[in-house]
Structure 1
Amino acid sequence: MLIQIVAGTLLAGVASVWLAWVLSKSFLSRYPQHMLSLAAGALLATAFINLMPEAFESEYSVHSLFLIFFAGLLVVIVLDKAEVWHHAHEHGQAGEQCGHQHAHHAHGPTGSWSVLFGDGVHAFADGILIASAFLADWKLGVAATFAVLLHEVPHHMGDLAVVGSGSNQPRKAVLKVSLAGSMTVVGGLVGYLIVGQLGEWLPLFLVFAASSFAYVALADLIPQLNKPMGLRQTIVQMVWLLVGSLLVTAAVAVVGGHAH
């Protein structure tokens, strides 16, 4: 189980940075809205199709689980307002990379390090959530890893634009963001130790993870997609959202079907 957690957190936290770097040089960088829709769909599917049903199969009452879900939302909102949970998103979405490169020139190294710090905190929290999912069922862990990966790719594309602004050595930016992303592994190890000792509370951790994923999708990603657009663009956006949720569902099916 520990090996699976380390592998999952490395994939979600570090491999996502290198994938973002590759995609930022491809034609896909011109379609950041599609990537955000894909990530939102993956997070929502993981929260409501995988994590929540698993928690509801426990002996905890529905009332208790929804209370934890509500409390989880409040905690994440507070952390978000404190610019800790999503501090790395302050520079905006990946679709505005060029504009933000100019905007962050004035910040210099300080702005870059603040982004890296926010990334590290965010990655650490992701690691704990991924570990919780793996401890419940390794198939849930795969779904959580995949959802975080899809979310982090467009996120890291923006990070790389900020950290690498004004530099002629883009690989240094990749290494710096990868170092921050490696905190996902640290969070995974901490989650393995803490959550593993609190096995009876595991359903509560799953619900908290679900509330976190739902918040990121509904309060962070989807608002970035709520811009005036025509019917065709709206349909395309919904298709990518559906594709994201289907990818997570397919990932779980490929590794062994349902959680049980």
Structure 2
Amino acid sequence: MHDFPILCAALCLGFLLSKAPGFKAETLHHDFLQDILTVYGQDRLLDINGINTLLETVSQGKPAELDIINAHAQCGSAEEILALYGLSNQTHLDKGHLRTICPTLLNRALLPPCPLQAAEPKIHIGSQVWGYGFLAVTIINLASFLGLALIPFTKKPYFPKVLTYFIGLAIGTLFSNSVLQLIPEALGFDPKADNYVMKAVGIFGGFYLLFFTERILKMVLKTDHEHGHSHFSPPEVPQQNGAAVIAITSFSISNSDKSSMTSEATVEQTPPSRGCCARLASVKTLAWMITLSDALHNFIDGLAIGASFTVSILTGFSTSIAIVCEEFPHELGDFVILLNSGMSIRQAVLFNLLSAMSCYVGLVLGILLGSTFAPNVIFALAGGMFLYIALADMFPEMNAIAKEHRGNIKTDVAFFIIQNAGLLTGFSVILLITMFAGDINLG
């Protein structure tokens, strides 16, 4: 079997040399044969020494070490070579077809193949990948702790508007990162070669068109109060089992609810005489559920970040931007629920820090898997997760905050503008990174 390529090349060589005097080559034939004459001949003519060199090269089964780089050597598969000659529909080749493709086969046998692509190695994990990866995860974890510092500001009248913008920003970045980068990467698409970016923009366009139309109709027709109910600020906080509490209800808690929650959390942390185990035993089940689910969530985030950095630095930063925008409002809600579930501030910080460590574990695993195997599965998993978080979790939250604080038309329009600003800002940032990733060099 190993002699078949040599035999094929030798037959092509003999066939072409026997037909050389009257051979009228087309453009492709001329290019391929001219390369051979340039490398093995003198003044683009082949003498007996050149023929001996050709035969020696063919008999060795590999091209000689050449200083001249071939510009026309084909790197494609058999299907691509047939397509080059318009023979894609041929399942079997006859003598005439073989005569047609012989210059390409001879070129492949005698000249170094794919000189321009020979430098594409297996993914190399450089120090930049590890450095930028750990930097991104650290920034994300610090941003999550920012939620704790902002808890006192939740009583301010302007805070719902600020939070609405950040939730809209998170939706825009998560959604666009999923449809513009993660899912296309999972499918093996390249933004420069496959030209899918504008089509993916159409996906966001369809989503945004319906969102814009629905919000306008609800403001004009005032239908928000006619059906459904608020998913936030429940009138009673469960006392026995926190399983029925929704984790992100803290986003739109009224001032009275926040005061009661803060006072309750303060009462829980006042007794200094209780031991650590006793205080942990009083923590509601919901707090442990949130901590464990947050650790799993952070682990998957780390996987996505690590795999993204193995593709390119900008892809890694794009995924990190989407995650940090999502982590801020998410962790803010988690902190309030943890405090309300019986944890002290110190305990809430400690357990949040422990769950954040899983992001580093996911980062290391994501980099190792992304550089060893194709990271497509990780991208597909992260893309689906980002879509779910953006559309099933955060989008209803953003609408519920606006519904909770709606009043006159001026307030409704203000929330609508803030929602649009967050969505469009997040989408635009990821879109620009995707479109100009090849033109930006981070060193």
TM-score (norm 1): 0.73
Partner of 1:217: 390
Report the more deviating stretch, 241-250 or 207-216. Answer: 241-250
Q: How many Å separate the matches in 2 of 1:187 and 1:35?
A: 25
Shift of 1:36: 1.1
Matched, 1:40 2:171: yes
- Given candidates 236, 242, 252, the residue that maps to 2:424 is 242
> Does the CA contact (< 8 Å) of 2:314 and 2:437 recur in 1?
yes
Distance change in 2, residues 1:138/1:42 (3 Å)? same
- Provide the aligned C-alpha RMSD in A: 3.6
Q: How many Å separate the matches in 2 of 1:250 and 1:171?
A: 40
- Structure showing greater radius of gyration is 2
Partner of 1:92: 248
Shift of 1:128: 0.6
> Does the CA contact (< 8 Å) of 2:148 and 2:332 recur in 1?
yes
Q: Which whole-Å deviations, capped at 9, do the CAs of 1:125-158 have from their partners, x for residues lacking one?
A: 1111111111111111011111101101111101
Which segments of 5 or more consecutive residues in structure 1 lack a partner in the other structure? 63-86
Shift of 1:256: 7.6
User: SS in structure 1 opposite 2:340?
Assistant: coil
Q: How many Å separate the matches in 1 of 2:296 and 2:435?
A: 31
Which segments of 5 or more consecutive residues in structure 2 lack a partner in the other structure? 1-128, 197-242, 266-281, 407-411
Matched, 1:115 2:290: yes
Shift of 1:97: 5.2
Q: How many Å separate the matches in 1 of 2:378 and 2:370?
A: 8
Matched, 1:11 2:142: no
Q: How many Å separate the matches in 1 of 2:159 and 2:354?
A: 23
Q: How many Å separate the matches in 2 of 1:211 and 1:33?
A: 23
Shift of 1:211: 2.4
Q: How many Å separate the matches in 2 of 1:205 and 1:258?
A: 25
- Given candidates 110, 129, 147, the residue that maps to 1:20 is 147
Q: How many Å separate the matches in 2 of 1:57 and 1:39?
A: 25
Code of the aligned partner of 1:137: S
Matched, 1:127 2:338: no
Partner of 2:190: 57
Code of the aligned partner of 1:138: I
Shift of 1:257: 4.9
Shift of 1:56: 1.3
Shift of 1:251: 6.7
Q: How many Å separate the matches in 1 of 2:380 and 2:434?
A: 18
Code of the aligned partner of 2:352: V
Code of the aligned partner of 1:211: G
Code of the aligned partner of 1:116: T
> Sequence identity, in percent?
22
> Does the CA contact (< 8 Å) of 1:10 and 1:182 recur in 2?
no
Q: Which whole-Å deviations, capped at 9, do the CAs of 1:142-200 have from their partners, x for residues lacking one?
A: 111111011011111011112223769524322321221121111111212223221xx
User: SS in structure 2 opposite 1:242?
Assistant: helix
Distance change in 2, residues 1:125/1:49 (3 Å)? same
TM-score (norm 2): 0.45
RCO higher in structure (CA 8 A, sep ≥6): 1
Partner of 2:375: 202
Q: How many Å separate the matches in 2 of 1:178 and 1:248?
A: 28
Higher fraction of helix = 1
Q: How many Å separate the matches in 2 of 1:115 and 1:256?
A: 40
Shift of 1:20: 1.6
Q: How many Å separate the matches in 2 of 1:168 and 1:24?
A: 15
Code of the aligned partner of 1:225: M
Shift of 1:121: 0.9
Partner of 2:112: none
Matched, 1:233 2:364: no
Q: How many Å separate the matches in 1 of 2:175 and 2:440?
A: 17
Counterparts of 1:58-207 in structure 2 under 5 Å? 90-96=246-252, 99=257, 102=261, 108-165=283-340, 169-198=344-373, 201-207=374-380
Aligned residue pairs total: 230
Shift of 1:214: 1.7
